[in-house]
Amino acid sequence: MIELKTPISEEIIRSLKVGDEVLVTGRMFTGRDAVHKYLHEGGQLPAGVDFKGGVLYHCGPVIIKDDQGQWKCVAAGPTTSIREEPYQWQVIRDFGLRGVIGKGGMGERTLAACKEYGCVYLHAIGGAAQVLAECIKRVPNVHFMEKFGAPEAIWEFETVQFPAVVTMDANGNSLHKEVFAASQAELAKYL
């Protein structure tokens, strides 16, 4: 297990390899379809939000307000990342992301951007909404709540040891491509 603390340096990111298991601690932002499309079309991040060195989580969390009026995350599994494939490369390039968390993996353009700008794709365990919510200790802020609605808003998370696996690294490797090719070759033996 490799501990990562946000903000993460380019050097550390480039040292990660596919198959590495990581635990992410620190500030993390959520962003899914609406946020990606908005940034792609030239939209600016809200004041006080800086993705530089940071990690973006493809997630539409379930968040409630507790008795003290604080946000509390009750379910926060990853959503399918491939929907952001048309936009992700640009968001990595323009906003200095070092990590993208989601599920299912992403395509060639994102893989190329990871290599060029120094970023990795981290695969969280799909469906593990409760375990992952437990790693989100605080929800200090939310942005674009009015504009995009709760699941699509940019939520700020304070995480402690959020588990994920590097499945696309900054050296052009993709575990998804490797496993697909290997399983295809294997299947041919049994047909």
Partner 1 sequence: MNRLFESLLELIRRTSTVIPDDVHRAILASLEQEKKGTIAANAMQIIDQNIALARNKSQPICQDTGSIIFYVEAPASLDQIAFEEQAREAVKTATKKGYLRQNSVDSITGKNDGTNLGPGSPTVHFHQHRSPEISVRLVLKGGGCENVGAQYSLPNEKLKANRDLDGCRKAILDAVLQAQGKGCGPGILGVCIGGDRATGYEHSKQQLLRSLDDQNPNPELATLEKDIVETANKLGIGPMGFGGKTTLLGTKIGVLNRLPASYFVSVSYMCWAYRRQGMVLDAEGAVQKWLY
Contact with partner 1 (CB under 8 A) among 12, 23, 49, 131: 131
Q: Applying CB under 8 A, does 123 fall inside the site for partner 1? A: yes
Nearer Cβ to ligand SF4 (31/53): 31
Contact with partner 1 (CB under 8 A) among 46, 50, 65, 74: 74
Asked if 12 and 141 count as a contact pair (C-beta separation under 8 A), the reply is no
Q: What is the DSSP letter of 131?
A: H
CA distance 78 to 31: 11
Q: Which residue bears the tokens 């936009």?
A: 87
**Both structure tokens of 164:** 């994920």
Q: What is the footprint of partner 1 within residues 13-52 (CB under 8 A)?
A: 19, 21
Neighbours of 33 (CB within 10 A): 16
Q: Applying CB under 6 A, does 126 fall inside the site for ligand SF4? A: yes
Asked if 139 and 133 count as a contact pair (C-beta separation under 8 A), the reply is no
Residue 174 amino acid letter: S
| Residues near partner 1, by CB under 8 A | 19, 21, 60-62, 64, 74-77, 79-80, 103-105, 123, 125-131, 134, 149, 163, 165, 167, 175-176, 178-180, 182-184, 186-187, 190-191
Please list the active-site residues. Answer: 36
